[in-house]
Amino acid sequence: MTNELIKQCQSGNRDATETLVRQYTPVIYKLAFSMLGNEHDASDAVQETFIKILKSLSGFRGDSSFSTWIYRVTSNTCLDMLRKNGRHRAVSPDDEEVFLQIPDTAPTPEEAAVSGERRSMVRAAVSALPTDYKLVVTLCDLNGLSYAEAADILGCPQGTVKSRLSRARALLLKHLSANRELFDADLRQNKSKEAQR
């Protein structure tokens, strides 16, 4: 369906263009919010991304998948906004390689509150990452893309994606360890529920 939709958009069909915008707005917003950290900037990024996409759509040849192309345009738009706002940070080369593992919780009221606080802390920790790390975490961990897809979007080898992701997770772990009791409480609650089953 997307290929047909793209062809219709390229031929100037307004209904197809509106459908395309509706279909991809949530995807673009999710990536933009993950990278930029607030609703206002994410909304601006969605608008800017669609302006770029619609201007360039006639030249889209399908060398990569359309969703990969959308991620690339969105990522570049967000990076431009971060640089413009002075929030772009360089990667530190001496970060340790440690993997972050955060358990899922069941949605009881108490756990929902803890989970919401935890999500806010993780979101803040991701926002504090150097831009290259934030991007791979956003693509792979938050949006579920494979290393190959992220490498295609970023224009770098898969090994670079893996390395950046590992270092980003180490920085997240270091940042979040200050509030470890919040995550330990989740772990204890999950273990207690499993024991009761």
Per residue in 41-95, pLDDT (tens digit) is: 999 999 999 999 989 888 887 777 888 889 989 998 988 888 887 754 444 433 3
Domain span at 116 = 109-196
| 116 and 59 belong to one structural domain | no
d(CA 160, CA 171): 16
pLDDT tens-digit series, residues 105-150: 444 555 555 556 767 777 788 888 888 888 898 888 888 889 998 9
The answer to the question of residue 26 being in a domain is yes
Write down the residue that tokens 């330990």 correspond to.
Answer: 184
Q: What is the DSSP string of 31-82?
A: HHHHHH-SHHHHHHHHHHHHHHHHHHGGG---SS-HHHHHHHHHHHHHHHHH
The answer to the question of residue 191 being in a domain is yes
171 closest CA partner among 105, 82, 103, 89: 89
| 56 and 128 belong to one structural domain | no
What is the CB neighbour count within 10 angstroms for residue 65? 13
The answer to the question of residue 159 being in a domain is yes
| 133 and 178 belong to one structural domain | yes
The answer to the question of residue 34 being in a domain is yes
| 70 and 116 belong to one structural domain | no
Answer yes or no: pTM beyond 0.75. no
The answer to the question of residue 79 being in a domain is yes
Domain count, the chain: 2
Task: Read off the CATH number of the domain in which 47 is found.
Answer: 1.10.1740.10
